[in-house]
């Protein structure tokens, strides 16, 4: 975190009002753009059935036993990437129809910093698509509409809270992770993202998960939900922290071919024993596109905050709290 003295443009009480305004407004704009229906979502799922999100494959879910449920073990969700696709089938959604939900997760192994916390809140969404829409052009169209909903939300928020001055670009720079590596071969992945966002403002960084020409993936991505050739992250340049901020991780979901290929690359073919993976292989789940849109991250960006703890209540290391206090950053 920068050592520069910081002053929020909103008081704590106005911040709380603005958080609600941003969340209410963005949900309305998302539904306006796609026609998604809101559904209820789980906070816990059964362990051992492969439905929880493994993220990068190494994060440990928070788990506990339920004595009055036959001693079953439950896991707090890390995201709903796979649950949503199953829900599309269970609820009878058809091509072009979709759902969104409020997802509340715990990721205890996340590194805590100005953008990351143990508690994760996001709008998780998923839409049924046809085989003909498993294309890069369709992915880009969806990204452009999500970015439009975000910028619309910013404009409405600035009218409500005129002390805010942030500007975001609707023009998206689409670039692959390999192209980013070629442009900035001496930079680490996060530095590449920051450099791209400083130059272009709004970026969709595509094809995350597979190894690049340097033998390393740009970032980790579980092999069993996104198709690594048809996914990406929506990134914005955040003036308040002079850095890139990832607002959404999203993509077209795996079909049987990409699931098998990616599990083999990841050395994770043991997952094929789970019902979810069997359904994908058998073509029993609808083809879909989906992702998560960070609620606190979006509020942090649009409200020009220097730390995610200004828009959500969390637990932070003592040294981080002391650093924030010294800078004038008021954590909730």
* Active site positions, annotated: 53, 107, 122, 233, 246, 249
22-to-33, 172, 216, 316 alpha-carbon distances in Å? 16, 21, 37, 24
Residues 6+ apart with CB under 8 A from 72: 46, 47, 65, 66
Q: Which is nearest to 305 in space by CA: 15, 1, 8, 17? A: 8
User: Whole-angstrom Cα distance, residue 320 to residue 323?
Assistant: 5
Token pair in block for residue 327: 């800078």
Token pair in block for residue 68: 């009055």
Give the length of the chain.
332
Residues 6+ apart with CB under 8 A from 206: 136, 139, 174, 175, 176, 177, 231, 232
């Amino acid at each position: 975190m920068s050592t520069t003295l910081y002053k929020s443009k909103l008081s704590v009480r106005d911040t709380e009002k603005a958080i609600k305004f941003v969340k209410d407004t963005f949900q309305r704009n998302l539904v306006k753009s796609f026609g998604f229906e809101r559904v209820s979502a789980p906070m816990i799922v059964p362990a051992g059935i492969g439905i929880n999100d493994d993220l990068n494959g190494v994060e440990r879910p928070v788990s506990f036993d339920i004595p009055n449920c036959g001693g079953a073990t439950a896991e707090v969700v890390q995201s709903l990437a796979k649950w949503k696709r199953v829900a599309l089938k269970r609820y009878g959604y058809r091509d072009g129809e979709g759902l969104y939900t409020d997802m509340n997760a715990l990721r205890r192994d996340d590194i805590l910093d100005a953008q990351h916390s143990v508690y994760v809140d996001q709008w998780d969404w998923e839409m049924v698509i046809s085989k003909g829409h498993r294309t890069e052009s369709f992915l880009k169209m969806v990204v452009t509409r999500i970015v439009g909903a975000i910028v619309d939300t910013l404009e409405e928020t600035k009218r409500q809270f005129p002390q805010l001055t942030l500007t975001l670009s609707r023009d998206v720079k689409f670039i692959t992770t390999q192209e980013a590596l070629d442009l900035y071969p001496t930079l680490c992945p996060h530095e590449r993202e920051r450099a791209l966002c400083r130059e272009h403002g709004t970026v969709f960084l595509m094809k995350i998960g597979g190894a690049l020409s340097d033998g390393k993936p740009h970032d980790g991505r579980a092999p069993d939900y996104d198709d690594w050739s048809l996914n990406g992250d929506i990134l914005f340049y955040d003036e308040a922290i002079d850095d890139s901020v990832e607002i959404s991780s999203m993509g077209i979901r795996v079909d049987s071919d990409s699931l098998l290929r990616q599990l083999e690359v990841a050395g994770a073919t043991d997952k094929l024993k789970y019902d979810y993976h069997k359904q994908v292989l058998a073509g029993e789940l609808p083809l879909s596109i989906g992702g998560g849109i960070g609620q606190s991250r979006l509020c942090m960006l649009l409200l020009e905050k220097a730390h995610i703890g200004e828009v959500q209540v969390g637990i932070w290391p003592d040294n981080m709290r002391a650093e924030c206090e010294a800078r004038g950053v008021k954590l909730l």
